[in-house]
Amino acid sequence: MANQNHDGGAYLIRGARPLGGEPADILLRGGTVAAIGAGAAQAADGAAEVGAAGLIALPGLVDLHTHLREPGREDAETVAGGCRSAAAGGYTAVHAMANTDPVADTAGVVEQVWRLGRDSGLCDVRPVGAVTRGLAGERLAELGAMADSVAGVRVFSDDGMCVSDALLMRRALEYVKAFDGVVAQHAQEPRLTEGAQMNEGEVSDRLGLGGWPAVAEEAIIARDCLLAQHVGSRLHICHVSTKGSVEIIRWAKERGCDVTAEAAPHHLLLTDGLVEDYDPIYKVNPPLRTAEDVRALRQGLADGVIDCVATDHAPHPIEAKETEWSTAAMGMLGLETALSVVQHTMVDTGLLDWAGVAERMSAAPARIGRAAGHGRPLAEGEPANLALYDPAAERVIEPAALESKSTNTPYRGMTLPGRVVGTFLRGVPTVLDGKIQ
């Protein structure tokens, strides 16, 4: 696809459809979009040509919820490996969750993760700081130090654990206002989910697996929306998974609460019926819910009640999944399949157009995470972060073919639409012809 005889890093992308619109040429030079449309070809001046007829150009995707596992679980994933996965999925920025070992609860750890991301050169890694020390839910971590560090942390989350103490949550919401931060809550009432293994409902009752009731998510979301509004803070809700949660967030937004929310691709497509054979590839937290929840999440994402798609990309080594259900690790890969799942569930169903996809997968998450330079429009003078996507392609998901070090994809063997053909980070291709550069 790319003409290899190019001068120091200028690219002329020919005939791509920005946000699915009319074909246009896009000239990338010096890390920015130098020209777009009619004048781009004339201004190309030795730029390498990238043929992109039929491809959709989107702003580089931004993930608010990624587990990169490093430091501590390099057997599952490394920052560099996760960045390959991200680039392959069309992402130019990811927010790395804090539940590493050691936990990202100090400036030292977040700076380490940030540097590893910078060294990879494939994707900007924006570390998420823990809300509480060691994710223990007892005392605030040094949020200010992480915010002021070179990593510039703006998103704080105890993801995996819920900040269940209402007073501590209030304090965190208030405290991060000083540096324009946001608390991203993993909404899970801990007492209601003791021994929880899957969505509580007809399937869990029949399979004899401990139930994770929807109310355990919804009760925390309702509480935190009220708290956030009371103290005038920003609140973000991680991986919303139930119909009731969508209704509560809709209500909170209507009454003026500054709340944003994300949905994970797997919650837009998969349901708890998949647990039937006890294959832990489908074990995730929050769990796969019902078809009714899936419908509500899709509608919420279409309406904007759910602001963005976030992958909750969670690599695990094979041995953590090849076990009996109750001992298996929770989580699934997402970065390399997210755009395909969104096309399948939102675009092909008519719920969202490509401009909407750009908003939900790039602009909104960049705004929420305060990721400067990301989620910008495809326009002259903007940073050259973009993804080229072929919506007409089809692929059968092969775990071994994924860039991630792990293989725990729930889409194994499924045929999904679309393929990321190219990704550019500040004008530099990280993926061309579907291959990592």
Contacts with other proteins, 43-72, as mask; x by CB under 8 A: ------------------------------
CA separation for the pair 138, 28 (Å, rounded): 48
Indicate the residue among 42 and 326 with the shorter CB distance to other proteins.
Answer: 326
**Minimum CB distance to other proteins, residue 209 (Å):** 5
Question: Do the Cβ atoms of 69 and 76 come closer than 8 Å?
Answer: yes
207 near other proteins, judged by CB under 8 A: yes
Indicate the residue among 279 and 353 with the shorter CB distance to other proteins.
Answer: 279
Residue 197, both tokens: 């293994």
Residue 308 bridge partners (DSSP): 262
The residue from 25, 312, 353, 433 that is catalytic is: 312
CA separation for the pair 11, 199 (Å, rounded): 48
274 near other proteins, judged by CB under 8 A: no
CA distances from residue 222 to 199, 215, 217, 294 in whole angstroms, order as listed: 19, 10, 9, 20
Q: Give phi and psi for 50, each to the nearest 5.
A: -120, 110
- Which of 43, 247, 258, 278 touches other proteins by CB under 8 A? 278
CA separation for the pair 25, 37 (Å, rounded): 5
Concerning whether 312 is annotated as a catalytic residue, the answer is: yes
- Which of 7, 148, 202, 433 touches other proteins by CB under 8 A? 202
Indicate the residue among 82 and 211 with the shorter CB distance to other proteins.
Answer: 211
- Which of 98, 155, 209, 416 touches other proteins by CB under 8 A? 209
- Which of 325, 372, 373, 393 touches other proteins by CB under 8 A? 325
327 near other proteins, judged by CB under 8 A: yes
> Which one of the spans 165-173, 177-185, 324-332, 382-390 is the region binding other proteins (CB under 8 A)?
324-332
Residue 132, both tokens: 């509480």
- Which of 45, 101, 322, 348 touches other proteins by CB under 8 A? 322
397 near other proteins, judged by CB under 8 A: no
Indicate the residue among 284 and 305 with the shorter CB distance to other proteins.
Answer: 284
DSSP string for 3-27: -S--STT-EEEEEEEETTSS-EEEE
Instruction: Tell which residue, 335, 334, 344, has the closest CA to residue 393.
Output: 344
- Sort residue 30 into left (φ over 0), alpha (ψ -120 to 50) or beta: left
413 near other proteins, judged by CB under 8 A: no
**Minimum CB distance to other proteins, residue 186 (Å):** 24
- Sort residue 427 into left (φ over 0), alpha (ψ -120 to 50) or beta: left
How many Cβ atoms are within 10 Å of 205's Cβ, its own excluded?
10
**Minimum CB distance to other proteins, residue 287 (Å):** 14
CA separation for the pair 372, 62 (Å, rounded): 11
324 near other proteins, judged by CB under 8 A: yes
Indicate the residue among 322 and 433 with the shorter CB distance to other proteins.
Answer: 322
CA separation for the pair 131, 137 (Å, rounded): 8
> Which one of the spans 82-90, 165-173, 198-206, 409-417 is the region binding other proteins (CB under 8 A)?
198-206
CA separation for the pair 181, 154 (Å, rounded): 4
**Minimum CB distance to other proteins, residue 280 (Å):** 9
**Minimum CB distance to other proteins, residue 310 (Å):** 29
Residue 412, both tokens: 């194994």
Number of residues engaging other proteins in binding (CB under 8 A): 20
> Which one of the spans 53-61, 160-168, 317-325, 420-428 is the region binding other proteins (CB under 8 A)?
317-325
**Minimum CB distance to other proteins, residue 377 (Å):** 48
Ranges of H-type helices in 313-402: 338-342, 354-358, 364-369
**Minimum CB distance to other proteins, residue 204 (Å):** 8
CA separation for the pair 55, 50 (Å, rounded): 11
**Minimum CB distance to other proteins, residue 76 (Å):** 17
**SS3 at position 282:** helix
Residue 84 bridge partners (DSSP): none
215 near other proteins, judged by CB under 8 A: no
Residues binding other proteins (CB under 8 A): 197, 200-202, 205-209, 211, 277-279, 319, 322-327
Active site residues: 312
